[in-house]
Amino acid sequence: MKIKILTILPLFFCLHIQAATVTWSNTNNIVNENDSFSLDVVGRDFVGDVDGGGVNVNFDPSVVNVVSVTIDETVWNLGSNANSTGTINNTTGSVEGIMVNTFAYLTGDFIVATINFQVVGSAGSSTDLILSELKKNPWASAGSRINPVFVDGSVSIPATDLDGDGIDDHIDNCPADANSSQTDTDDDGQGDACDADDDNDGIDDNADAFPVNIAASVDADNDGLPDEWNTSCDTSCQNDSGLTLDGSGSSGGGGGGSTSPLSLCLLSLLVIWIRRKAVIKNRF
């Protein structure tokens, strides 16, 4: 049993180390918005006489699209019927059926196909570039099947923060106005810092006496009490507003409802005087 394990282990590690891979000419790709770029799908560390194979590509089509696929037919020279640039689908994000075959019997490293991409995503987005076996045309060496390892790549569009508020542009609700709080009173996706009508009551902030309260917008005497409710504000809206209409008379205006210390003192003295008078009267 010991001998078997000792024999099998080195064989396993040798095979593992020499495993052929199908991968990208560059696996980690940093690009910019609207860039066009090309990547080769490459074979690496193939042993023996490779006579062909195939691959499928998958990607996030909201980040990149594939414009075209090219194959060098001087290398893959079995004839155009034996090669295929596959079917591009930029809705699902795939190129299915890239297929290459040759009489040249390649070994080591080689280019399978060149994929030409167009960046369509915005800054801060990224996608994996997934490679998988084309089952109808597997990799083969002198007619025997090879099982390469497929190694994926990625494409990233670095995030930018134009207004320097610490919120990347693609998630900043005011990308050109610094607003680290991201406050958006009316929750319309546009932050207060760049929203002309923060409470969305139809009155622009610069003419709205209550720019972040949808209940009211007019305060003629500027006392903090609205002259009227906005027509769109129903009873529930009014109750939730935290505002009291000007001249509603409920409190008689601010400090009128409170009792001063002097009044309390005079009232107390009056009560004492009445009681004492009552006590004196009862004595006689």
Binding site for Ca ion (CB under 5 A): 161, 163, 165, 167, 172, 174, 179, 184, 186, 188, 190, 195, 197, 199, 201, 203, 208
Please say which residue, 41 or 174, places its beta carbon nearer to Ca ion: 174
Question: In the 8-state DSSP scheme, what is residue 241?
Answer: H
DSSP secondary structure of 152-219: -EEEE-----TT-SSS-GGG-SSTTS--TT---TT-SSS-TTT-SSTT-SSS-GGG-SSTT-TT----
Please say which residue, 51 or 197, places its beta carbon nearer to Ca ion: 197
Please say which residue, 51 or 165, places its beta carbon nearer to Ca ion: 165
Measured between alpha carbons, how far is 64 from 30 in angstroms, rounded to an integer?
Answer: 12
| Minimum CB–partner distance for residue 95 and Ca ion (Å) | 35
Q: List the beta strands (DSSP E) in the chain.
A: 21-24, 28-30, 36-58, 64-70, 84-89, 94-119, 126-133, 140-141, 144-145, 149-150, 153-156
| Minimum CB–partner distance for residue 233 and Ca ion (Å) | 12
| Minimum CB–partner distance for residue 178 and Ca ion (Å) | 6
144-145 vs 126-133, strand pairing mode = unpaired
Please say which residue, 88 or 178, places its beta carbon nearer to Ca ion: 178
Contact indicator for 192, 180 with CB cutoff of 8 Å: no
| Minimum CB–partner distance for residue 122 and Ca ion (Å) | 13
Please say which residue, 76 or 210, places its beta carbon nearer to Ca ion: 210
| Minimum CB–partner distance for residue 169 and Ca ion (Å) | 6
| Minimum CB–partner distance for residue 186 and Ca ion (Å) | 4
Measured between alpha carbons, how far is 37 from 59 in angstroms, rounded to an integer?
Answer: 15
Please say which residue, 49 or 186, places its beta carbon nearer to Ca ion: 186
User: At 44, is the secondary structure helix, strand, or coil?
Assistant: strand
Instruction: With residue 272 as reference, give the H or E element that holds it.
Output: helix 261-283
174: left (phi over 0), alpha (psi -120 to 50) or beta: beta
Please say which residue, 51 or 172, places its beta carbon nearer to Ca ion: 172
| Minimum CB–partner distance for residue 243 and Ca ion (Å) | 14
